[in-house]
Chain A
Amino acid sequence: MRFLLRRLGFYLVAAWASITLAFFIPRLMPGDPASAMFARFRGRLSPEAIVALRRAFGFSEAPLWKQYAQYLAHAARGDLGISISYYPATVGSVIGQALIWTVLLSGVAVLISFVLGTALGMLGAWKRGGWLDSYLPPVLTLLGAFPYFWLAMAALFIFGFGLGWSPLRQAYDDRLVPSLSWAFLASVVQHAVLPGATIVIATAGGWMLSMRSTMINVLSQDYVLFAHAKGLSSRRIMLQYAARNALLPNVAGFGMALGFVLSGSLLTEIVFSYPGQGYLLFRAVKSLDYPLIQGLFLTTTLAVLGANWLVDVVALWLDPRSRS
């Protein structure tokens, strides 16, 4: 318990550091959001309007430390301000709308990829030299080595545009009203399959390889030999003795991967026009939407830290050594 609390304290410090970075990094980018926004109007905005708009949109000329203090105070209250590129929607509502789709698509895809890759790695190592072990890793590594956007574009072109099996964009059929009906859920699944599949294909190889190599290492340990000697069933040795111990590095990696789900889906969402966080971040950076960038950093940070904390808990359960 003390271990978990200590970790929690560490996470608080990390959260503060990243919230601070989220404030300063956008401000180091060239240009300022007001002129970026007004440039869209190609000079049609009157100078008086520009001055008034700067004030209205909260483009403050106050010293940076004052803005920072205000930002911290607002963030502590959960008030992330009003988005510039989606004005007058609040950052909270914009992110809220996108978050669910990212969690759904990338979260599920990363989970499937992790379970599938780890299971394949485990089986591959158990039956070393078998067909699974000989053919799958090179194939998956090859697919994973393609630039992801290329893989996604090719999938979209072949299965979406060419064969018409998959929709070309969005998260559900826009003729349907979001509800818990079968038709709507089916549409969500239909829209998520192709982008999800590309994530799984691109990442499963990594999980498989790392699981396989750790597993091979564990299998050569004396206690596995001892378990064999005791006459335990191979199923039990594989799962309880070898896999459980080999799982640790993958679980740590999974925590990281889960955290990166929020930011990592950028290319998937752009290629498949999926209305999630990644696309939002891309657009926010392009339009120098400081409040939205900060909000996205904040949610991503909290997600990464939260996922890591969960990993700590799981590692504690998997590895008794860490409990002392």
Chain B
Amino acid sequence: MPRLGGFRFGAWPSAATLTLVGALGSTPVAIPGCGGAHPSPSPGVLEIAEGAKTSAFTRNFNPLLEVGDMRWPARGSMYEPLLIWNPMSGQFVPWLAESYAFSPDHLRLTFKLRHGVRWSDGRPFTAADVAFTFELLRTHPALDVLGVGEYLRATHATADDQAVFEFARPFVPGLDDISAYPIVPGHIWKDIVDPLTFANPNPVATGPFTEVTSFQPQAYRIERNPHYWGGPPAIAALHVRAYPANDQSILAIVNGEVDWACDFIPAVERIHVGRDPLHHHYWFPAMDATVALYANTTEAPFGDARVRKALSMTIDRPRLVMVAMHNYTHPSDATGLSDAHERYRDPAAVAAGRDWVSYDPAGAERLFDAAGLARGSDGWRRRPDGARWSPTIVVPVGFSDWVVASQVIARGLRAAGVDVTMRTLDYNAWNDSVQKGEFELSMGWTLYSNTPYTFYRGLMSRQSVKPVGVDASDNWHRLAIPEADRMLTQLEETVGVEDQMRLYHDLEMVFAQQAPAIPLFPGPLWGEYNDKRFTGFPDQKNPYAPLSPNLFPQALLVLTRLLPR
């Protein structure tokens, strides 16, 4: 029979796509014009590459269905929150609300709303819409992805411009989540029978770009909201094309087809900037969540802080950051904080933990020995019972940066006499094992929110610890530190900035002393832009907002500032 099978099986496509990007970089000049077959953007229309990679778009503009296949503009340009947290300034930018205040007992949070805001159908936006949105979250817990229902009792509109949130218990960090939810129009959504399957094809919203004037599976176009409260945006429209994979969107950025994107690009200076140094720019601040090495504390001997610190001291972080992350970031310090939380960093905690986040093979040997894991006659370290200690580090296949980083970690550990093996697992299998706590060592993300509260809660709180075998979205290493719990509870009732800062410094010190997880590096926020057609993108020189379009709702800060050339 003729062979049709030849093209059904072969090397894995991601390897193939990498080759294309690699080839692209190695011949930057020899490629003749890329016009002709490649469509060029229309004037005044901002071309965006969505973070979601797909070959065909689903028309889903339901801002509360981020869990589904939601289109970027739903939260990027259509539905707006009460406040926008700006990680660059560390402050809230008033948006649909002009100000907020907690009552003295922290049980009431009052938002004063902006005047003159209208929905894109011309109806006024009022506090009733805010109350409606949070009532919707209460009646549909599946939509409440941030879990405000856990501490929120009720939401009222006490005046047209005043929304009041009643708390069941004091929970100050709740402000971050409440203020971030997109507000939907009550006068339209009250008739939606099932908001969980509602795809909202023709959105009515308050944001700068709300009118879907064209929607094809391959591309869509969003035009201006005629009633935008901030005045008509300078950009005529947004145009988003479907890119089935990263290499395709990278190609589009490099070719100048896209104005704004959020992809990881290897050797970005050469591949992207090198093509048009005048207009092609990128900004990768190390402000995403910290990436850490998790040691499962339910598996001996990782319950011992000395062992975790010794592990950390075998890691050559500068080398890891260079080979795995292309030097796009830098090694973490002993607070584990991302650069987004710079203002919380306590120099005392950094100093207290400096020894265990520095590369110090000799110090690691001493600590391992002290923890009862001495080397045997063959040079490999043994457990106290005499058996060779051979932990496994698991890593999801295809995460090439993590695979390389895990190799660097494994090399350091083996040099210190730990017979570690690395195992690559299918992503879903890996995810399953880390969430259930059925692993020994693995790299992983940490949680990220406006303040370090969520980060430390996910790494040290009793509340985040789940039994082995039960899915846990955080605290994969299953460690609870009682004194950290006390500080976290205090933070839930603390409004004063100075008091908060003191508590955060205390938490950092606990982290630096106990090493619950082993921080490696803060993740970079990927963002590229092409200022040939539009100006005003944020970057290192003008850091008024993060660049990455994939960050909701911060993209609104950028969209309302861009100017066509």
Contact = CB atoms under 8 A, between A and B. Distances in A.
Interface of A: 29-32, 35-39, 41-53, 55-56, 82-83, 85-89, 94, 97-98, 110, 117, 144-145, 147-150, 152-153, 156-157, 160-175, 177-178, 190, 199, 202-203, 206-207, 209-210, 249-250, 252-253, 256-257, 260, 263-264, 266-271, 273-276, 279-280, 282-283, 286, 288
B218 A164 contact: no
Contacts of B214: 177
B473 A203 contact: no
Contacts of A153: 16, 19-20
B39 A173 contact: yes
B34 A275 contact: no
B343 interface: no
B459 to A, nearest CB: 11
B60 A275 contact: no
A162 B32 contact: yes
Interface of B: 1-8, 10-11, 13, 16-17, 19-20, 23-24, 31-39, 54-56, 58, 60, 62, 65, 67-69, 140-147, 149-150, 196-199, 214, 216-219, 241-245, 248, 251, 289, 425-429, 431-432, 435, 445, 447-448, 458, 471, 473-474
Nearest to B54: A283
B142 A175 contact: no
A206 B242 contact: no
A81 B140 CA distance: 21
A185 to B, nearest CB: 16
A70 B69 CA distance: 25
A40 B141 CA distance: 19
A280 B56 CA distance: 9
Contact of A86 (B6, B69, B140): B69
B533 to A, nearest CB: 16
Contacts of B474: 43
B241 A168 contact: no
B430 to A, nearest CB: 8
A86 B58 contact: yes
Given A42-B289, A178-B216, A264 B4 contact: yes
Given A175-B39, A268-B7, A37 B58 contact: no
B8 A203 contact: no
B218 to A, nearest CB: 4
A271 B217 contact: no
B32 A169 contact: no
Given A164-B33, A275-B56, A89 B199 contact: yes
Given A55-B142, A167-B38, A202-B7, 20 more contacts: A30-B429, A30-B432, A42-B473, A45-B67, A48-B150, A49-B147, A52-B141, A88-B60, A145-B6, A161-B24, A164-B35, A169-B243, A173-B39, A174-B241, A178-B216, A249-B1, A260-B4, A268-B7, A273-B55, A282-B13
B7 A288 contact: no
Given A164-B35, A210-B1, A87 B69 contact: yes
Nearest to B476: A43
Given A166-B37, A207-B2, A286-B427, A41 B145 contact: yes
| Residue among A161, A165, A256 with max Cβ neighbours from chain B (10 Å) | A161
A303 to B, nearest CB: 14
5 interchain residue pairs of minimum CB distance: A46-B147, A31-B428, A148-B7, A87-B68, A206-B2
B56 A203 contact: no
Given A30-B429, A157-B23, A164-B38, A273 B245 contact: yes
A149 B67 contact: no
Contacts of A35: 431-432, 435, 471
B7 A49 contact: no
Contacts of B56: 94, 97-98, 275
Contacts of B13: 149, 267, 270-271, 282
Contacts of A56: 142, 196
B197 A82 contact: yes
B469 to A, nearest CB: 13
A163 B6 contact: no
Contact of A46 (B4, B150, B432): B150
A168 B477 CA distance: 44
Nearest to A160: B37
Contacts of A85: 69
Nearest to A117: B2
B37 A206 contact: no
Contact of B141 (A49, A88, A206, A209): A49
A39 B435 contact: yes
A3 B149 CA distance: 65
Contacts of B431: 31, 35-36, 39
Contacts of A163: 32
Contact of B3 (A53, A203, A268): A203
Contacts of A209: 2
B8 A164 contact: no
A299 B150 CA distance: 44
Contacts of B34: 161, 164
Nearest to A206: B2
B145 A263 contact: no
Nearest to B53: A283
Contacts of B428: 29-31, 36, 288
Contacts of B19: 153
Contacts of B4: 110, 203, 206, 253, 256-257, 260, 264
- Between A56, A169, A177, A269, the greatest number of chain B beta carbons within 10 A of the residue's beta carbon is seen for A169
A89 B388 CA distance: 53
Nearest to A88: B197
B1 A256 contact: yes
Most B Cβ at <10 Å: residue of A36, A49, A206: A49
Given A48-B150, A88-B198, A273 B32 contact: no
A266 B23 CA distance: 22
A268 B60 CA distance: 28
A142 to B, nearest CB: 12
Contacts of A260: 4, 8
Contacts of B62: 88
Nearest to B35: A164
B478 to A, nearest CB: 14
B11 A149 contact: yes
A158 B31 CA distance: 9
B561 to A, nearest CB: 27
B7 A264 contact: yes
5 contacts: A31-B429, A38-B67, A45-B145, A53-B142, A170-B241
A41 B216 CA distance: 27
Nearest to A204: B2
B244 A88 contact: no
A148 B10 contact: yes
B145 A49 contact: yes
B218 A161 contact: no
